[in-house]
Amino acid sequence: MDRNTVIGMVLVAIIIIATPYYMEKVAPIPVEQPAEQQREVHQSPTPVSEQSVVTQQAVSPKKVITGSEIDLVELEESLISVSNVFYEALISNKNGGTIVSFKLNNYNYFDSSLVNLIDKNNQDNLVISGSTIDGEAFELNENWTVSSNVKKLSAYDAPASLVFTTSFQGSVISKKLTFNPDTYQIDVEIDFAGSASSLSQGYYQLGWNGGLPVTEKNEKDDLFYFKGYVFQGDDLHDPKLDKDKTEATEFRGQTGWVAVRNKYFLAAFLPSTPGVGASLGGHYEDKKPLYNISLYQQANGGSKTTLYLGPLEYKRIQAVGLNLDRVMTMGWSIIRPISRGVLMLLMALHKYIPNYGFILILFSVLVKVVVYPLTKKSYQSTRKMQEIQPQITALKEKHKSDPQKLNKATMALYKEFGVNPMGGCLPLLLQMPLLFALFQVFRSTIELRGAPFIFWIRDLSAPDTLMEIGGFPINILPLFMTVTMILQQSMMPTQAGQQKTMMYAMNIMFLFIFYRFPSGLNLYYTLFNILTILQQKYLTPHAAAPAPVVVQKTQKPKPPAVRKKK
């Protein structure tokens, strides 16, 4: 392998190494619990009709009117169970219908129990709040009246609804929850029209507090994806939380939706007509970012908002529309089309092959066929560079005192033999977008979550840990991948001692880089390396060893002999 190829591979390695640090920089994982929490609400005099992010401006706290102060009628809490093919939910009449449990039938924790998207931090959800025209904040957080005494609802074959009512400012407020079959979407219809004149600026807020819980065994990795979003126009806002205080950022203007997510699951408010604003904030608790989101809706007339509470399945999120797929983790903009293409191909193959591990085997073959012309050209270019190395050495010796002539003669030699000095590493660089796309797909798409292969590989989205020794995981596939890389290197044209040492050092470096990567990614690259070895051995013609070039040094002419006088 020539020097340019080595430099190219070093640059590739630097990109791979720097990517996790870059991602941690732009979306840091929480490491500290705040010492104190202080609430700041960001506001500005921007008109509601205009689309804008409200600037930071602290305001004084307002008196909060609780539900008991409004209604003065204390009701007991009642719980209603609701189920369809996808979930089993438990609904309380607190807050006028809040979800206190939401277990997903198709997704398990690492201990095989069902994933529950509600925990102690986010049980305060679907709460209605706002401000009166007198500037007093309120929350309708009391136990509302349920229209029926039913304790169990089924939404398997047809929609099932619950209606809750309470009073505010002398008027009746109602909230209707409709649970639909074969979907994770729940319709929330709120009738606040009777008290619209009592509300500041004529709108109320529908809120979800506390984000989503950790659902993965690797909590640190899960926390990396904790985010909150506000979508306005074509802009997706995802402000970060301050670790030292509780805060909120207000957004004024037409709002398409608001959402919170963890690594694999999403809670989103999707209004039938755009909201008039939104709020996104929260705080840290036990090193976890707890996001609070609110959607602002006009109170004069009934409003319908759909709550999506479920997995980040690409096809399901894309079918919702409204650009909700913008929350999916697909990499940089230049990588996203490739990531989507890879994911769609894997899902299409999964219709016929139920095991994603075998799909990866087939996928690696397909990719190798696609990139075969590039890799073949790379090998040919590398071998040509090796063939003309004696000539290059001769030119260096001949023009060692004149760099310009050396450069011109070297380029002429490249042209004569049809050699591209970047031909060895350029094909590798062209494959880098695919590498990053595969990394995003294997690491963050729920389709591969918990997908087993064979033997000890039980989750293609996580490292293939066979056992732990002293708390250190023993992952097998990264070791196999490194062995294939070393074997592949040994089949390359003869290298100089320093280059050979550098390449072996890079193989060890890649072992550390890939050691904690998803097993699906390591499985793919191990298979890809094996196919590359077979290609080098059987499909790439070997060039004959070049004859050594003897460099003849020019001799200085002897001075003419001086005749002696007789």
pLDDT 10s digits, 143-153 = 999 988 889 99
- Greatest alpha-carbon pair distance for the chain in Å reads 143
Of 171 and 189, which is predicted with more confidence? 189
How many Å apart are CA 282 and CA 151, to the nearest integer?
Answer: 33
pLDDT tens digits, one per residue of 57-79: 333 334 444 444 444 456 888 99
pLDDT tens digits, one per residue of 75-119: 888 999 999 999 999 999 999 899 999 999 999 988 889 999 999
How many Å apart are CA 7 and CA 421, to the nearest integer?
Answer: 11
**Mean pLDDT, residues 261-282 taken together:** 93
Highest mean pLDDT among 24-28, 258-262, 320-324: 258-262
Domain 35-325 fold: Beta-galactosidase; Chain A, domain 5 (2.70.98)
Does pLDDT of 270 surpass 60?
yes
pLDDT tens digits, one per residue of 356-382: 999 989 988 888 888 777 777 777 777
The distance from CA 118 to its chain's CA centroid, rounded to whole angstroms, is 22
Q: What band does 430 get if pLDDT is binned at 50, 70 and 90?
A: low
Does pLDDT of 184 surpass 70?
yes
Residue 99 is inside which H or E element, if any? strand 98-108
- Map out the domains of the chain as residue ranges: 35-325, 344-539
Nearest to 432 by CA among 503, 501, 348, 374: 374
Q: Which residues pair with 40 in a beta bridge?
A: 247
Of 433 and 494, which is predicted with more confidence? 433
Of 250 and 429, which is predicted with more confidence? 250
Full-prediction pTM beyond 0.85? no
Confidence at residue 86, expressed as pLDDT on a 0 to 100 scale = 96
Confidence at residue 513, expressed as pLDDT on a 0 to 100 scale = 85
CB 67 within 8 A of CB 141: yes
User: What 3-state class would DSSP assign to 25?
Assistant: helix
Confidence at residue 414, expressed as pLDDT on a 0 to 100 scale = 78
How many Å apart are CA 115 and CA 503, to the nearest integer?
Answer: 45
CA 30 to each of CA 221, 312, 395: distance values in angstroms, whole numbers, following the listed order: 11, 22, 57
pLDDT tens digits, one per residue of 312-346: 998 899 999 889 989 988 877 788 888 888 889 98
